[in-house]
Amino acid sequence: MPHVRVRLTSAHRHEWVALALFTVGLLVAFLTQRVIYENGATLAAGLAYFSALLLLLAAYSRSGSLFALALRPPMRAVTPAPPPNPARALFALPAFVFALIAFFEARANVFTPLGVSAWATCLILFFIAFWEGSPLAGWDTARAKIAALRRKDKRGQRARWLLIALLGVMALGAFFYFYRLDALPAEMTSDHAEKILDTYDILHGKFSVFFERNTGREPLQFYANALVVWLGLAPLDMLALKIVGATAGVLTLPAVFLLAREMFDAKVGLLAAFLFAVSIFPLAIARIGLRYPLAPLFVAWTLFFLLRALRRQTRNDFLLAGILLGVGLNGYSPFRVVVGLTLAWLVVWRLYDFNVTANGTRRYVLNAVLLFGAALLVCAPLLGYISAHPDRFAYRMATRLTSLEVPVQGNPPLIFLDNNLRAFGMFNVRGDVVWVNSLPNAPAVDFLLGACLLAGVLYALYRLLRFREYPFALIFSAVFILLLPSTLAFAFPEENPSVVRAGGVAPLIMLLAALPLAWSYKLFARAGSETLGAFLVGVVLVGILLTNFNLYFTKYDDEYRRAAWNSTEIADALRVFAEKNNDWEHIYVVSAPHWVDYRAVGIHLGNFDFQSHLVENERQFVEQARDPAPKLYVLKNQDTVSLAQLEKLYPSGVAVRVDSKTPGRDFVAFFTRIE
């Protein structure tokens, strides 16, 4: 057992008073958030939370600047890379020409060999023209960092322990993101069926730039799905989609660590990565198997390279940020706001005027232009499609922002204000109502993490307003902008808050929640009780881990199964009949409002064109009755009208109620003839 030492001396009285205020405030916040999580917000809960925040503010203000979290210096001394040979600038014009070829080739909404070759060539030429230094220099830097891990001094030991800790967090994240992935979430929705059909098109030679099914989708996820299937990692079903999403979630973890470390230090980075690894908020949107986790993945990586570019003022980091920005724009539609976020960070950094001197403004602007230029080149095929079909590309976004689909009811500024209040409250008061994405109406994060988040927001506000510390200006601007895909739902304000459209904010939310934990640990260390501080922070982390494990793998699983239609069981019933009779033609799903998606049933059966097996009206029943072959119809349990029609057409037929493993999901199997 480690020795826990508490030094209650006059020399540490200031620290212990601050710790006492902080501890009591955080405990009250935990308890109040638990009440809100289970029973909803009340006036009494609000008053209790207000008192908790006052105690936390008193703790932060007593610490002043002496005990504040250390910030990464905004100006980092870096040996500048040698500028590229002036002759390399001649490659810029050919890069633009090849980009135009890729642009025009994609206007027909297809990736052609010529278009893809031109696209790859324009990117290569662009980097030859503007990359500073030799590409081998990056490899040499990586080798030097790897060699540092083998050093026997304290620096090498710290580096090894940090690497081990990060790998441990990633292993924990891999467990959370991949554990029982085949079984949870349990069933397909219509969105899954559409994504699988889009992937099916790729695997059968239809290489779209923009996938127009269901109002249109960017291409990245579908090609990743196809790669998983092509590599044999999973068949073309929901599991293939979930593997892509879970992988995106795990790949976000090192980016969260690096982004937090770029602002603060490695401790904050590890805490933020840990919270991202276990929190139900990013976990649920990653494992669902749709495009949602691509937003936090590319938000975290783009912002990390952008912040590093700002601190180092190195062109290569600007270029890398631009590449990741462009790739993210090919992923999930709400990521589009990161273009504005990137511009906002560039402006905020210039306003702080850290390392952008009057003589360096021209270079700063040029690097920013090259960042967006790299992003545009990555998006060249998508831009080609947009130029030919702007209405299709913008349709989904326009229906939420304008009166294109339904009239906007009310005053837009007031709607926007109300949307923001509800979006900011989604983590502590009331979250998304959609059962696919989260626990309906529950806060988006658990009660422990939610209390830490508010404590972190309070700390960040105090440090920003009192000391104008730059990371918090960046963080708050990022949170506001990344919530816009949810808060701009003027025509459908009931869809706000949306955990998936606002999913890109998850890395920043975890960073904010990590701040009070890192601050308390630092204060315990200054009070001479580092072990006690580590123990108490560890208790909170274990509590968050266990709480989220139960929320997702038990409660969310149960809620999802009760809400989703059991297409797997329906497909199993049809499969048994088809195999017994060696007849895959005479199996049918009878359409009914708010029932199973027949396409999901067909996908389970390996039939990706199941339309002919869907019965939508009585005329089809009559036509099928002319065929004497035995048939099986599956019907919604409450569809008595269709069942009566079948019994009239097949007097000797037998209707069997099929019990489901999930309560309320029983269905009827009607056999036209029993042999």
- Domain boundary (46, 63, 80) is at 63
pLDDT classification of 156: cutoffs 50, 70, 90: confident
pLDDT classification of 106: cutoffs 50, 70, 90: very high
- Location of structure tokens 């030094």: 7
- Whether 69 is covered by a domain: the verdict is no
| Contacts of 195 by beta carbon, 8 Å cutoff, 6+ apart | 217, 221, 222, 225, 241, 289, 290, 291
Domain match, 554 and 572 both: no
Domain match, 495 and 625 both: no
- Whether 487 is covered by a domain: the verdict is yes
pLDDT tens digits, 314-324: 899 999 999 99
Decide if 534 contacts 521 (C-beta within 8 A).
yes
Q: From 229, 230, 310, 223, select the one nearest 263 (Cα to Cα).
A: 310
Strands lying side by side in the sheet with 632-636: 614-615, 587-590, 632-636, 667-671, 654-658
- Whether 27 is covered by a domain: the verdict is yes
Q: Quick one: the chain helix, strand, coil %, rounded to 5?
A: 70, 5, 30
Looking at 468-529, list the stretches that DSSP marks H as alpha helix, in order from N- to C-terminal side. 470-482, 484-487, 506-526
Domain match, 197 and 317 both: yes
Decide if 148 contacts 159 (C-beta within 8 A).
yes
Decide if 318 contacts 308 (C-beta within 8 A).
no
- Whether 92 is covered by a domain: the verdict is no
Does residue 352 surpass a pLDDT of 90?
A: no
The pLDDT assigned to 7 comes to: 54
Domain match, 424 and 364 both: yes
3-state SS, residue 668: strand
3-state SS, residue 9: coil
Cis amide linkage into residue 628, ω under 30° from 0: no
Does residue 1 surpass a pLDDT of 60?
A: no
Question: Domain range spanning residue 417?
Answer: 132-152+189-562
pLDDT tens digits, 47-70: 999 999 999 999 998 866 667 898
Q: What sign has the CA pseudo-torsion 286, 292, 296, 302?
A: positive
User: Among the listed ranges 142-151, 219-228, 515-524, which one has the minimum average pLDDT value?
Assistant: 142-151
- Whether 159 is covered by a domain: the verdict is no
> Which is more confidently placed, 45 or 136?
45
3-state SS, residue 635: strand
The pLDDT assigned to 52 comes to: 95
Cis amide linkage into residue 94, ω under 30° from 0: no
Does residue 649 surpass a pLDDT of 70?
A: yes
Mean pLDDT of the chain: 92
Relative orientation angle of helices 361-378 and 113-130, to the nearest 10 degrees? 160
Query: Residue 381 region, left (φ>0) first, then alpha (ψ -120 to 50), else beta?
Result: alpha
Domain match, 377 and 524 both: yes
The pLDDT assigned to 64 comes to: 65
Domain match, 631 and 650 both: yes
Decide if 311 contacts 74 (C-beta within 8 A).
yes
Q: What sign has the CA pseudo-torsion 210, 213, 215, 217?
A: negative
- Whether 120 is covered by a domain: the verdict is no
Domain match, 402 and 546 both: yes
Per cent of the chain over pLDDT 90 is 79
Domain count, the chain: 3
C-alpha to C-alpha distance for 15 and 523, rounded to whole angstroms? 6
Domain match, 584 and 607 both: yes
Domain match, 529 and 573 both: no
Residues comprising the chain, all counted: 675
pLDDT tens digits, 437-482: 999 999 999 999 999 999 999 999 999 999 999 999 999 999 999 9
Torsion angles phi and psi, residue 633, rounded to 5: -115, 135
| Contacts of 301 by beta carbon, 8 Å cutoff, 6+ apart | 252, 255, 324
Domain match, 482 and 353 both: yes
Q: DSSP readout, 356-386?
A: --GGGHHHHHHHHHHHHHHHHHHTHHHHHHH
- Whether 554 is covered by a domain: the verdict is yes
pLDDT tens digits, 525-548: 988 889 999 999 999 999 999 999
Q: From 182, 292, 285, select the one nearest 237 (Cα to Cα).
A: 182
Domain match, 596 and 665 both: yes
Domain match, 496 and 605 both: no
Does residue 192 surpass a pLDDT of 50?
A: yes
- Whether 181 is covered by a domain: the verdict is no
Decide if 193 contacts 267 (C-beta within 8 A).
no
Question: How many other CB atoms are found less than 10 A from the CB of residue 535?
Answer: 13
pLDDT tens digits, 568-583: 999 999 999 999 999 9
- Domain boundary (562, 577, 611) is at 562
DSSP letter for 667, please.
Answer: E
Decide if 318 contacts 370 (C-beta within 8 A).
yes
Nearest-10 Cα torsion for 256, 258, 264, 268: 50
pLDDT tens digits, 381-424: 999 999 999 988 988 888 888 878 888 888 999 999 999 999 99
| Contacts of 619 by beta carbon, 8 Å cutoff, 6+ apart | none
Cross-strand bridge partners of residue 654 = 671
Decide if 591 contacts 632 (C-beta within 8 A).
no
